[in-house]
A and B are shown apart, each in its own frame.
Chain A
Amino acid sequence: MTVAGLVGANLFRNKKRTGLTIASVVIAFFLFGILRSFITTLDAAAAVGSEARLITSSASGFTFPLPEAHASRLGTVAGVKSVSWSNWFGGYYQNPQDFFAQFAIKADTYLPMYPELEITAGDKDAFLRERTAALVGVGLLKKYGWQIGQTVTLKGTIFQGDWPFVIRAAYTPKDAASGDANMFFHYEYLYEKVPGMSPGWFILELDRPDGAADIAAGIDAQFKNSTAPTKTETERAFSAGFITMWGNIGFLVKAIGTAVFFAILFVAANTMMMAVRERIGEIAVLKTLGFQNRTVFGLVLAESLLITLLGGAIGLGLARVAFMGKNPMAAFFPGFGVTNGTIGLGLLLALALGLVSGAIPALQSARLSVVGALRRVA
């Protein structure tokens, strides 16, 4: 036997209580893993997009289209290398509840601007040639079991009716936050079926990112008194603007996480207090045998740490496994997953939880008067 063995033996003397306490810590850290991942995913999503690309949308909001004629004027602005545009489509495949994003794009200029979307299946040229062709993320291919060359029909919600597309290519994002569950198709197809359509927003590739602020201000000034004034910002700021539509989810998640943390703190502390209280006599015996106060302190604290670290590791591990391979929230949160940073932070919190919940009972044990304790249990 070793001193560590003594910790283990004490930990599992009341298996039911220890098991339940560990289970509560597991649940708390599973929740922590998920909640924290919302924040990291939102942060990653807000950081998606290049500082070297500008988005020009209507000053009234990105749901208001802009005249296609803006494109040629934007192309002449100094520092703008190329111009493309995009529209939000808003359709679904078979199940209206099953959301994924679709964009009508000016493909010949759009794709060169987005090297992070790497075509990994099908043929890019075939996609560019065919009016009803679609480029889809590999996540969508996998989710729906689609094949290259297959015709899939979306139901339009904004643009009513059936919309058949032929899948000609699939992309894999170079960064998870870009999402692998989007669909792109040619704006010409949308504009042909919906008369009067015009670009939802323009994407401008810049020569140099450091001039972005001045160029954006210049563009908005240029269109200020037109019939369609603009709002220009970097793509990253545009993405962050989308994220704010979720509201202050970060605050909410942190508030819930803090409440859970304190609830578990009291559960763990209560368990340790009870564990120490029922073995006062044994602690007195250990001291009689010559165990130092600091050793007794360490024994109790180690028990507390084992409970919280074991529970924390299991809970965080389960959270990670739960979203490995499949991501039910991919459409809203591309790249959602429990990151190494979240695991690390969770383990640090478990460590802190163990230290705080075990400190008082450990201190009580260390300060225990042997004579008094032996008299109490006699």
Chain B
Amino acid sequence: MSSPTSNLVEIRGLAKSYRRGTEEIRVFEGVDLDIKAGEFLALMGPSGSGKSTLLNILAGLDTPTSGSVVVDGQEITRMNAKQLATWRSTHIGFIFQFYNLLPVLTAAQNVELPLLLTNLSKKHRRDHVMAALEMVGLTDRSEHFPRQLSGGQQQRVGIARAVVSDPTIILGDEPTGDLDAASGNEILGLLERLSGEFGKTIVMVTHDAHAAERAKAIMHMDKGVLSR
């Protein structure tokens, strides 16, 4: 595990392009980025700037055209799909814009999902789930289904799911993008708490300047160029 001051993430010469018919679309190239352990980084930029693509590559969901991504000493850009899935299960907590909870599962069961990939006993899984739900203030809603929860509550469940397996890094793709101001504020407060109180490393993609201001650092991506 990295010390609080060392780089948890090191991105070097990252490029991503894809083909649309005969045309090659360059999303970005030559991106370098260091993220320290415990950092709460907001990644801003207009639509199509490549910030979500960068987040997806950092999550091991997408592969770059070239360059390297090293997370906690492991070069994930050299991993195959199977290795990436295993790596994600232990190192990544992902918060989606539209919560993406499974509608057929209760809040507790949704939070438990990442733990199904571990060797934890049922009791230990339950303990972890309740701790995560307590952290987001939803223990009383553990048996509710997503349709019985408000958008803000659903996103809090999403955050509980992202942190329940104690990942190395938490990635948020517009986590407040689908919420009203008050709910968005609650979510940002939770992320601040995760960073400040629990020392979690967070990278959040957002359009919202107010949301970005709650992070400890902001970076801008525009036309494939990343800047502080």
Which residues of A come within 8 Å of B, CB atoms? 1-3, 5-6, 9-10, 12-13, 281-282, 284-293, 370-371, 374, 377-378
| Distance between B164 CB and nearest chain A CB, rounded to angstroms | 10
By a CB distance below 8 angstroms, the chain B residues around A281 are 100
Contact between A292 and B86 (Cβ–Cβ < 8 Å)?
yes
Contact between A290 and B85 (Cβ–Cβ < 8 Å)?
yes
Report the nearest A residue to B82, measured CB to CB.
A292
Say which residue of A10, A12, A284, A290 sits within 8 Å of B88 (CB atoms): A290
Contact between B104 and A13 (Cβ–Cβ < 8 Å)?
yes
B53-88 with Cβ < 8 A to chain A = 56, 59, 61-62, 81-82, 85-88
Given A1-B105, A10-B104, are A286 and B82 neighbors across the interface (CB < 8 Å)?
no
Instruction: Report the bound CA distance from A220 to B57 in whole Å.
Output: 89
Contact between A288 and B88 (Cβ–Cβ < 8 Å)?
yes
| Distance between B81 CB and nearest chain A CB, rounded to angstroms | 7
Given A377-B98, A378-B97, are A288 and B59 neighbors across the interface (CB < 8 Å)?
yes
Interface of A is mostly: helix
Contact between A1 and B117 (Cβ–Cβ < 8 Å)?
no
Contact between A290 and B86 (Cβ–Cβ < 8 Å)?
yes
- Contact of B114 with A by CB under 8 A: yes
Contact between A285 and B100 (Cβ–Cβ < 8 Å)?
yes
Question: With A286-B113, A293-B82, A370-B56 given, can you name 16 additional A-B contacts, CB distance below 8 Å?
Answer: A1-B109, A2-B116, A10-B104, A12-B104, A281-B100, A285-B96, A288-B94, A289-B89, A289-B113, A290-B86, A290-B88, A291-B85, A292-B82, A292-B85, A292-B86, A371-B62
Contact between A293 and B98 (Cβ–Cβ < 8 Å)?
no
Contact between A371 and B85 (Cβ–Cβ < 8 Å)?
no
By a CB distance below 8 angstroms, the chain A residues around B117 are 289-291
A-B contact pairs, 24 of them (CB 8 A): A1-B109, A3-B116, A6-B113, A9-B105, A10-B104, A13-B103, A13-B104, A282-B102, A284-B100, A286-B113, A288-B94, A289-B88, A290-B85, A290-B86, A290-B114, A290-B117, A291-B89, A291-B117, A292-B82, A292-B85, A292-B86, A370-B61, A371-B61, A374-B96
Contact between A6 and B116 (Cβ–Cβ < 8 Å)?
yes
Instruction: Report the bound CA distance from A318 to B205 in whole Å.
Output: 57
Contact between A290 and B89 (Cβ–Cβ < 8 Å)?
yes
Instruction: Report the bound CA distance from A10 to B117 in whole Å.
Output: 18
By a CB distance below 8 angstroms, the chain A residues around B96 are 285, 374
Report the nearest B residue to A285, measured CB to CB.
B100
By a CB distance below 8 angstroms, the chain A residues around B104 are 9-10, 12-13
Q: Which of A1, A3, A293, A371 has the most CB of B within 10 A?
A: A1
Contact flags (1/0) for B144-167 with A, using CB distance below 8 Å? 000000000000000001000000
Instruction: Report the bound CA distance from A6 to B103 in whole Å.
Output: 11
By a CB distance below 8 angstroms, the chain A residues around B92 are 288, 290
| Distance between B117 CB and nearest chain A CB, rounded to angstroms | 5
- Contact of B29 with A by CB under 8 A: no
Instruction: Report the bound CA distance from A285 to B85 in whole Å.
Output: 12
Report the nearest A residue to B86, measured CB to CB.
A290
**Top 5 closest A-B pairs, CB basis?**
A290-B89, A9-B104, A290-B88, A13-B104, A285-B100
